[in-house]
């Protein structure tokens, strides 16, 4: 499966790839050689808008378009497994299902009254649940993957 390193200009692209469950790191500040070194060391494809960087092997140049237009282009070329909501949108770590009692101090009381299913990031501890944004996220993912 393809793993990505997304440059600093494409934060929304990184976030959406993560929401789709695709292993996507966000490139650190630095020069192109440092980014290339990281990508090669971790076996990642660099996704960028930087035309000079895109001249290197293992780099995918994307046009200046919204993430919802860029991602279908990426998915049509690279082999990935889409597992929505299995990675943290903030840090890229794996998200695991947890018991309601394990997150009761990290979730608004109103949510606790109606929601029983929760997930927590194994890296940063971010808690997720099927709130009002869930359906919108899933619809966007379905839209981006519909023609692949």
Q: Specify if 144 maps to a domain.
A: no
Whole-prediction pTM value? 0.94
Confidence tier at 45 by pLDDT (50, 70, 90): very high
Number of separate domains in the chain: 1
Q: pLDDT, tens digit, for every residue of 97-115? A: 999 999 999 999 999 999 9
Q: Specify if 42 maps to a domain.
A: yes
CB 115 within 8 A of CB 130: yes
**pLDDT in the model for residue 2:** 96
User: Would you say residue 147 has pLDDT above 90?
Assistant: no
**pLDDT in the model for residue 118:** 96
Residue span of the structural domain in which 15 resides: 3-77
Cβ count within 10 A of residue 44: 20
**pLDDT in the model for residue 148:** 79
Q: Specify if 109 maps to a domain.
A: no
């Amino acid at each position: 499966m393809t793993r990505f390193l997304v440059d600093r200009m494409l934060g929304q692209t990184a976030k959406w790839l993560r929401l789709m469950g695709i292993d996507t790191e966000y490139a650190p500040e630095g020069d192109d050689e440092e980014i290339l070194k990281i990508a090669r060391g971790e076996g990642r494809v660099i996704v960028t808008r930087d035309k000079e960087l895109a001249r290197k092997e293992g780099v995918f140049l994307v046009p200046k378009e919204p993430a919802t237009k860029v991602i279908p282009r990426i998915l049509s070329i690279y082999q990935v497994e889409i597992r929505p909501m299995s990675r943290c949108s903030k840090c890229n770590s794996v998200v695991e299902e947890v018991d309601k009692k394990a997150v009761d101090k990290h979730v608004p009381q109103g949510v606790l009254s109606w929601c029983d299913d929760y997930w927590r990031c194994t890296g940063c501890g971010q808690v997720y649940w099927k709130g009002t944004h869930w359906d919108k996220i899933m619809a966007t993912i379905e839209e981006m993957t519909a023609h692949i």
